[in-house]
Chain A
Amino acid sequence: MSPMFGTITRMIGLILGALVIGAIFDVMPWAVIGALAIGLAWQLRQAHRFSKWLDNREAEQPPASERNDIWNQIYRQVYQIRRRSQRRKQRLADLLERYQTSAAALPDVVVALRADYSISWFNRAAGDWLGLKQRDLGQRIDNLVRYPDFIRYIQAGRYNEQVKLIMPGQGDRVLSMQIIPYGGDLYLMVARDISQIHRMELMRRDFVANASHELRTPLTVFAGYLETLIDRFQDHPSLGPALTQMQRQTSRMHQLIQDLLQISRLETLEPGRRDNAVDIPALLERILSETRSLSNGAHTIDCDEIDTGLWLLGDERNLYSAFANLLSNAVQYTPSGGRVSASWQRTDGGCQFVVVDTGIGIPKQHISRLTERFYRVDPGRSSSVGGTGLGLSIVKHVLRLHEATLLIDSVPGEGSRFICRFPENRTLSHGHDRIRNTDTGE
């Protein structure tokens, strides 16, 4: 029996009753009005009860009723809807809580930031390491984490990079911090404790520097005596060549130590310190004449398109060794009769130094590892050309100090192109943008 049917039978019963009473006592209109009024009052009472029941925040059981009418039906349906939404809400709340407790327990610092870098949530590690307190919610993160490196990082907005912060007074804890944009304009700040790695890095660096330094002294003594010996035994049939070979190897070792020391010095430098306006065109002039003497007429060495008005903000000595390394590499890996050319120009986002050669080229799989120390594409070949295997490492470090990038593209057998791209804020134009196109190579 449907609830609608129950309600209708009850109405019909009421009206029939009213008709009977009206017929007996001859007060038909009043009886009908009375019956309708009773019916209406009952419905209103039900509606009132229903609204009161809805007022309860918790979804209670509907009031028990045996009657099978439309009101019971409504109660049941609403009750089910409320139960369902309550269960869903509970599930979401559980999920959120589980997520927050797990994020809070993470050993890494996690801070959720709004678009204006104000803190909206942070975990326990953030409280411990960065000294954040519950009352700091809504405070801007850079007001509390005030390390200049971090502020520069936020201002630069290069969030695919990380920033290393050394926290004083906490046993020199070192954090590697990164900001990750998500959900439009929200940010997640994540920091990892890298004290251990940092310390090992320092130890390795110190070790290389100390070891190279210690090696240099005995080597100098060695080289000195060798020179004396060569003077005396130069014409000796078996000793002469042996001593010359020894001297060559000693000077190579000396160069190696020099390069190692230079790398460890470069590693400790921070970008932006000791920067000056460097006259790159004049610098290139010097490097090119040196390269020509290195090539000794075996290669065509041009400088096409050197922008004479284009200077760079940087460290002259380091730039010199980086550019000289690139050019001497090009000469060493280009067979006689090949061509090496250098250019120095303005680009859209700054300026670039390019070295192109027609040398043996580099197979693709080696390019990404080329700047590692002592990485050799062909171990057999490299010792014959000389070189220490540290040249490109030096280039990489110098470019890091100048916020520049190194791009390498190469086709084996045809040649290579090394591009150093410097950012706009280091580019200095000296007005006279004469472009010189000289072809002075032999």
Chain B
Amino acid sequence: MAEARGRHHISRQFDSELEDIHNRALVMGGLVEQQITDALQALVRGDVQACMTVVENDHRVNALEVDLDEDCTRILVRRQPTAGDLRLVLTVIKTINDLERIGDQATTVARRALDLAEVERPRNQYIEIQRLGERVCQQLRNTLDAFARLDAEAALSVTKEDAMIDMEYEGILRQQMTLMMEDPRTIRRSLDIIWSVRALERIGDHAKNICEYVIFLVKGKVVRHTSPEKMAEAALDKTRH
């Protein structure tokens, strides 16, 4: 990691501490990825046991977040990092916050899946949720890859993906609204479906946030709440920071 940022500190210990929080944020990311994948599988297959497992595993995500947050604070206090190092610590703190929320959304999906497993399955076997979910998983995977590689360009291309997710989300909403109007008996199921796709869509937003932190980390520019053009300009800026 120190090589990737092209700098070393005189204190090797500091280097390894920074590398450690970066690694552990990614380990947490891996766990969250698994949680979503499992929750999605559980929903599509109607697997009650798998739903329970996802809900039970959420505390592990939370525990990782608490630990890592504490260590980041310790680094801030002890080492008083500046410039790139400070950005790394800040990015990790923000990223794990978003990851923890993604984990919560995964449990939301699992809880909804528990309800959905009890009711009759729709004719299309939740194919649209599966497609949206796979897209979200892919987005999160690309996000974490960009974070691992400290790759601002990749992060930028992930943020563009988010629009696709929003479109699919809207499509499902519209479909469910039509279904509810046609047959009010499906309202309960439709509401559960809406809740879970909403959670998936939120995961996409959190992934987008992480991408913005990555651009901030690599390029030193705050790109939150800016236009896509500004963001692209910042991410593709060739000057070193």
Contacts and interface: CB of A to CB of B under 8 A. Distances in A.
A168 B26 contact: no
A241 to B, nearest CB: 45
A44 interface: no
Nearest to B35: A148
A141 to B, nearest CB: 10
Contact of B26 (A131, A133, A138, A143): A143
Contacts of B26: 142-143, 146
B137 A169 contact: yes
B68 to A, nearest CB: 14
Contacts of B134: 168-169
Given A169-B134, A169-B138, A273-B56, A135 B149 contact: yes
Interface of A: 131, 133, 135-136, 138-140, 142-144, 146-148, 150-151, 168-169, 273
A147 B145 CA distance: 13
B34 A147 contact: yes
Top 9 A-B pairs ranked by shortest CB distance?
A146-B30, A143-B148, A168-B37, A143-B26, A148-B31, A148-B34, A151-B27, A148-B30, A138-B3
Q: In terms of DSSP, what is the predominant structure of the interface of chain B?
A: helix
A276 to B, nearest CB: 12
B4 interface: yes
B201 interface: no
B23 interface: yes
Contacts of A151: 27, 30
Contact of A146 (B1, B4, B29, B149): B29
B69 interface: no
Q: B interface, how many residues as a size bin? A: 20 to 34
19 contacts: A138-B3, A138-B4, A139-B4, A139-B149, A140-B23, A142-B23, A142-B26, A142-B27, A143-B22, A143-B26, A144-B145, A146-B33, A146-B144, A148-B27, A151-B27, A151-B30, A168-B134, A168-B137, A273-B56
Contacts of A136: 149
A143 B37 CA distance: 18
B53 interface: yes
Given A138-B4, A139-B149, 7 more contacts: A142-B23, A143-B23, A143-B26, A144-B148, A147-B34, A148-B31, A150-B30
Nearest to B150: A139
Nearest to B3: A138
A169 B148 CA distance: 20
Interface in B1-59: 1, 3-4, 22-23, 26-27, 29-31, 33-34, 37, 53, 56
A202 to B, nearest CB: 12
Nearest to A269: B49
Contacts of A142: 23, 26-27
Contact of A273 (B1, B53, B141): B53
A326 to B, nearest CB: 27
A136 B145 CA distance: 10
Nearest to B1: A140
Nearest to B29: A146
Nearest to A117: B23
A146 B27 contact: yes
Contacts of B31: 148
Contacts of A273: 53, 56
Contacts of B148: 139, 143-144
A150 B138 CA distance: 19
A140 B22 CA distance: 11
Nearest to A154: B27
A143 to B, nearest CB: 4
Nearest to A144: B148
A144 B29 CA distance: 10
B30 to A, nearest CB: 3
A135 B31 CA distance: 24
B145 A131 contact: yes
Nearest to B38: A168
Contacts of A133: 149
B8 to A, nearest CB: 14
A126 to B, nearest CB: 15
A133 B149 CA distance: 10
Nearest to A136: B149
Contacts of B151: 135
A342 B148 CA distance: 53
A138 B27 CA distance: 18
Q: Which of B4, B31, B145 has the most CB of A within 10 A?
A: B145
A151 B144 CA distance: 15
A183 B106 CA distance: 42
Nearest to B30: A146
Nearest to B135: A169
B19 to A, nearest CB: 8
Contacts of A138: 3-4
A133 B146 CA distance: 12
A26 B115 CA distance: 124
B146 to A, nearest CB: 11
A150 B33 CA distance: 13
B209 to A, nearest CB: 19
B66 to A, nearest CB: 18
